[in-house]
Every structure is written in C-alpha cells, then in structure tokens.
Amino acid sequence: MDPEEVAEAFAALKESGKVRFFGVSNQNPMQMELLNKYLDDDLIVNQMQLSLVHTPMLDAGFNVNMAHDPAIVRDGSVIEYCRLNDITIQAWSPFQHGMIEGPFIGNDAFPEVNAKLQELAEEKGVTDFAIAIAWILRHPANIQPVVGTMNPDRLRDIAKASDIELTRQEWYGLYRAAGNNLP
C-alpha cells in the first residue's frame, strides 16, 4: 500500500460525509503504524481471520518461548497491538477453515470440535454456530465476529451467542477440541 495515498482517500471520504471511522483488514502492527503516520484519524478496526480452527493470532501467545510451530509469531503480535491501541478486531470467516475451504461446522474432517460444539449447543439450547461465535465473544479482546450471512433465521440463531458466556474451561475445551495444544 501507499500509506499517503490511502490516507488521502480516507480524508476525502470523511470530508464528503461518506464515512465517519476507518479500519483496515489483515494488517500487522507495523503496517498499521505506517498508515497511522499519515492519518488524521485513528484506525478503530482491523479485520482478521479467526475461527475455532484458525487461531494463529492466539496460538503464538499461548506458546511463547516454545520451539514448535504454534509459537511462531506470524502477525507481529497483532492481537496485543490492537488491544493496546484500542483497535477492535473483527473476526472474518468465523465458521471457516483455511482461506476458502468451507465451513468446519458439520464437516467430517473436524469430528472432535464438532462433537464439543454439539455437546455445548445442546446443553445451552442453541446451535453449534452460536457456540462457535460465543467462543470468539468470550475472548477478553472484545472481538466482533463478522458472520457473513444475510439469512434472517441463521442470524437470529447466531445472535443467541451474545446471551451465552462460556466458562474458561469450556473455552479452552473448544480450543483443544479444535486440535490446538497448550504447553
């Protein structure tokens, strides 16, 4: 990106009344710092891929000083940077595995996490999609999920996640059921 050009575009959009706030997508801390150098307004959002089965921004924090793949910081500690700078992370593709491989919920390739989702969904009287969103909402960074549906019934089902507060044990149980290990 050309940060000066992006900043100019942001300023023109704000001046014209088309936007009030600015955010980015898939940027690491240094990319945001570079853009901030030229902006008159603060960035308030960074959209990042996050789902139960796509957790690299969480994995590195759990595996500090470990000598295995989940310890590799691939994003410049973006979750910590955003929390320190009051930038809301919006989780895109919260039901997705990989970039375009499709949903993990109901997918036979993810039996353990689906079993755990179903168990909690039955216990709490909601859908497994609501539990997957409740898992994201439980994180202390106050992450906002972007669910990617316009189906009113599905939205109503997913919205029930806001009434569910998973315990830490349930949260970590889902994390582990998704194939993640803790040191």
Give pLDDT tens digits for 121-161: 999 999 999 999 999 999 999 999 999 888 999 999 999 99
CA dihedral angle for residue 72, residue 78, residue 84, residue 88, rounded to 10 degrees = -140
pLDDT attached to residue 183: 86
Pairing of strands 22-25, 43-49: parallel
pLDDT attached to residue 98: 82
Q: Are 51 and 95 in contact (CB under 8 A)?
A: yes
pLDDT attached to residue 143: 98
Residue 142 phi/psi, 5° resolution? 55, 50
pTM: 0.94
Residues of the chain scoring pLDDT < 70: none
- Considering the domain boundaries, does residue 110 fall inside one? yes
- Considering the domain boundaries, does residue 65 fall inside one? yes
pLDDT attached to residue 135: 98
Burial string for 2-13 (b: 16+ CB within 10 Å, else e) reads ebeebbeebeee
Q: Are 143 and 135 in contact (CB under 8 A)?
A: no
C-alpha span between 7 and 122 (Å, rounded): 48
Rg over alpha carbons for the chain, rounded to the nearest Å, is 18
- Considering the domain boundaries, does residue 182 fall inside one? no
- Considering the domain boundaries, does residue 106 fall inside one? yes
Check which CATH number belongs to the domain holding 67 and give it. 3.20.20.100
Residue 145: in which H helix or E strand, if any?
A: strand 144-146
- Considering the domain boundaries, does residue 183 fall inside one? no
**Domain residues for 40?**
3-177
How many other CB atoms are there within 10 angstroms of residue 29's CB atom?
19
Count of structural domains, the chain = 1
